[in-house]
């Protein structure tokens, strides 16, 4: 039975690398796959998924008004699909997550979604919130904080390199704009910890 998967992490954990590697594995075995990525993220060019280690692939674009069930059903008219991969899944709408769930349930095609869980304010993205609620399988892709602990949060940097405490939820960028941190150091950088509670921070723990 096909399932809806959500692979989530903080920034720069290698989600796109894993997606592209899995895509290669399917295609190497003669299986047909479909790739989707968010139209608003054009860092690699429109309709391209790229990883930091140089892997790239063409992808279909989705915007907020894209019917993903219809899009996948249309692709299946010419030949069977063995898997659908969705990059930048945090930008999906609630309804689009339901559409992908229907693809798994009614068209019997596995759906592999890759995306961020929370934004720089520590709040869930709409797509991630829906995926956490609906996905059959949740898989954390891990990266590390500067202290060596698991990074689960992200901070956004301004033009001056300083951490921003407010702003729009979506600002496209990579390592130039975002840094992944553990929850403890995210609180420090966001000014949510009183000085008297900063025991251990000054020692770099």
- 177 near 183, Cβ under 8 Å? no
Active site residue 88: yes
DSSP string, 33-64: EEEEEETT--TT-TTEEE-TTS-EEE-EEE-T
Closest listed residue to residue 82, CA positions, set 111, 44, 59, 54 = 111
Q: How far is CA 13 from CA 9, 181, 187, in A?
A: 6, 11, 20
Catalytic residue among 28, 88, 140, 175: 88
- The Cα–Cα gap between 57 and 19 comes to 10
Phi, psi of 93 (to 5 degrees): -85, 165
The residues that are catalytic are 88
């Amino acid at each position: 039975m096909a399932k809806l998967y959500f692979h989530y992490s903080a920034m720069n954990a290698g989600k796109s690398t894993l997606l592209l590697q899995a895509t290669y594995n399917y295609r190497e075995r003669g299986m047909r796959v479909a790739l989707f990525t968010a139209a608003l993220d054009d860092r690699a060019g429109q309709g391209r998924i790229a990883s930091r280690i140089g892997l790239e692939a063409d992808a279909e674009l989705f915007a907020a008004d894209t019917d993903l069930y219809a899009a996948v059903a249309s692709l299946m008219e010419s030949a069977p699909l063995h898997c659908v991969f969705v990059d930048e899944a945090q930008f999906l709408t609630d309804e689009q997550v339901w559409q992908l769930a229907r693809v798994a349930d009614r068209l019997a095609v596995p759906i592999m979604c890759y995306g961020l869980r929370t934004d720089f304010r520590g709040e869930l993205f709409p797509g991630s919130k829906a995926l956490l609620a609906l996905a059959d399988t949740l898989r954390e892709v891990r990266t590390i904080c500067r202290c060596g602990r698991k990074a689960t949060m992200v901070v956004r940097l301004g033009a001056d390199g300083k951490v921003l405490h407010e702003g729009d939820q979506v600002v496209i960028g990579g390592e130039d704009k975002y840094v992944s941190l553990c929850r403890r150091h995210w609180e420090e950088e966001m000014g949510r910890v009183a000085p008297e509670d900063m025991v251990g921070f000054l020692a770099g723990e």
